[in-house]
Amino acid sequence: MITSKERGLAPFKARRLDRLPMWYGGDPQTTQNLVTYLGAKDETDALYKILGIDFKTVRPRYIGPPLKTFPDGSTDTIWGIRRAGSYYGQAVSHPLQSITSLAELDLQYAFPDPGLWECKVASSVQRWTDGYCVIGGAWAPFFHDAIELLGIEQFMLAMYDHPDLAMTVINRVFAFYLNQTQRAFTENPGLIDFMFIGNDFGTQRALLLSPELWRQFFKPGLIQLVDLAHKHGAVAGLHSCGDIHAIIPDLIEIGMDAINPIQVSAEHMDPAALKRQYGRDIVFFGGIDVNGVLLKGTEQQVRAETRRMIDILGHDGRYIVAPSHDYLLPEVPACNIVAMYDEAKKYS
């Protein structure tokens, strides 16, 4: 009998098994909507027994003091960044916004201690992951955190006007996540199959910064993370929304094994073109359109789009079935999410 672990790793080995692997990510309320719609006992029953999802995720767990919450519902992050708004929200404060030199940085800001995160996975959780393809390590959004610490305008200017400051902030944020991911691998030997990290470098039309600046400031960290995953026998995947076509060759060059979510509505992210250019060198992970089809389409349209994406991206087995965003919101109809996975399971 083929296990979810074998199925989840098959695309990276260009192997054809019984069907393509499937991944799910969503808001807790989205998951509850699925549980209710399916008449399932709980999340495990809905996602893994009924839908057939092949990946389970274990992340470092925060064990430090409670983070500050404000009367308006906004909260502080571990970086001291205040966030407000729906779901994860948006940064409404930037602790390093007024800092322009390394001397000021050292005097005015203390970076969080990665030791406040527990990286050892409990034996009960390890039993829960048995037989599944396990995603682990830190999510490591070092691009986002560096931007939010300074504010996006200040950060973009700093890369030109104070490159030493920009690089130092990036490196210290990156070191925080590298420490967690190193510990996740060493404290849980053999558990993690897939290091999956998230940094949204793209907009709807291009990268947020030039490819040259990306290579100078962010590519070195990704190289370290990919090398770390490979050292421990795991594959590495990058989540980045938007148009990232300009750096896909770089990601292949450094050994990145998969890219997600393939935001097909963004410019230069046509799945057929991407598959023709890069399909032999990297696994595509996602691509089933959220904004149009999953959110607004009929069940028949969802099933047709799922088949179309499998035909384009998965004809050679080098594909992980997933939506074009890593975090499905409750507004996406549960019936459409179920139709996507049901059709993928049957068709692939």
Does the CA dihedral 43-44-45-47 come out positive or negative? positive
pLDDT at 75: 94
pLDDT of residue 318: 97
Count how many domains the chain has: 1
Vertex 80, ends 219 and 98: CA angle to 5°? 75
- Res 87: pLDDT: 76
What is the per-residue pLDDT for 204? 96
| Distance (Å) of CA 86 to CA 12, 83, 90, 170 | 36, 10, 8, 27
Per-residue pLDDT of the chain (348 residues; tens, 9 = 90+): 999 999 999 999 988 899 999 999 999 999 999 999 999 999 999 999 999 999 999 999 999 999 999 999 899 999 999 999 887 789 999 999 999 899 999 899 999 999 999 999 999 999 999 999 999 999 999 999 999 999 999 999 999 999 999 999 999 999 999 999 999 999 999 999 999 999 999 999 999 999 999 999 999 999 999 999 999 999 999 999 999 999 999 999 999 999 999 999 999 999 999 999 999 999 999 999 999 999 999 999 999 999 999 999 999 999 999 999 999 999 999 999 999 999 999 999
Residue 49 in contact with residue 321, Cβ under 8 Å? no
Tell me the CATH number at 277.
3.20.20.210
Quote helix, strand, coil % in the chain, to nearest 5.
45, 15, 40
CB 203 within 8 A of CB 222: no
What is the tally of helices (H) and strands (E) in the chain? 15, 12
Three-class secondary structure of residue 260 per DSSP: strand
Q: What is the pLDDT of residue 89?
A: 85
Question: Which domain does 42 fall in, by range?
Answer: 4-347
Measured between alpha carbons, how far is residue 131 from residues 22, 204, 293 in Å? 14, 38, 32
CA–CA gap between residue 115 and residue 113 (Å, rounded)? 5
Tokens standing for residue 100: 């322009």
Q: What is the dihedral of CA 120, 124, 128, 131, to 10 degrees?
A: 80
Q: What is the structure's pLDDT at 86?
A: 81
DSSP secondary structure letter of residue 130:
T
DSSP 43-85: HHIIIIIII---EEE---EE-SSPPPB-TTS-EE-TTS-EEES
Structure tokens at 279: 């399909």
Question: In the block, which residue shows the tokens 């070092």?
Answer: 142
